[in-house]
């Protein structure tokens, strides 16, 4: 027979959820996670449970749409324009290894 199995008016027995000991209801307390425990087992809730996050807005204050692509036509590269000869070469087409308009450019 437990020491807490006596009669007390308006009291009842309860079992501690942590240690399993039988106590009277006036000696029990409810914890933050809804457990009924003895007074010596009551623990405070961790303050980190109440920390609020700070909103981190990473959007830009203003933005413009990306402009349309503008394609500039390149000059027509001819066989004569790929030479390195000063009078025949076309800018952007000439290859330095080609010396004659009759030879083909080297394969790269």
Q: How far apart are CA 33 and CA 18, in angstroms?
A: 12
pLDDT exceeds 80 at position 47: yes
pTM above 0.95, yes or no: no
Q: What is the pLDDT of residue 62?
A: 92
Confidence label for 102 from pLDDT (cuts 50, 70 and 90): low
Q: How far apart are CA 36 and CA 28, in angstroms?
A: 6
Q: What percent of the chain has pLDDT over 90?
A: 30
Confidence label for 5 from pLDDT (cuts 50, 70 and 90): confident
What are 66's two structure tokens? 């990306």
């Amino acid at each position: 027979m437990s020491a807490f199995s006596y009669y007390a008016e308006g009291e009842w027995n309860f079992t501690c959820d942590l240690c399993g000991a039988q106590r009277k209801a006036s000696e029990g307390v409810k914890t933050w996670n809804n457990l009924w425990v003895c007074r010596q087992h009551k623990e405070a809730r961790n303050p980190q449970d109440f920390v609020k996050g700070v909103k981190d807005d990473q959007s830009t204050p203003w933005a413009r749409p990306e402009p349309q692509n503008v394609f500039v036509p390149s000059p027509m590269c001819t066989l004569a324009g790929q030479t390195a000869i000063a009078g025949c070469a076309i800018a952007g087409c000439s290859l330095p290894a080609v010396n004659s308009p009759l030879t083909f450019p080297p394969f790269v």
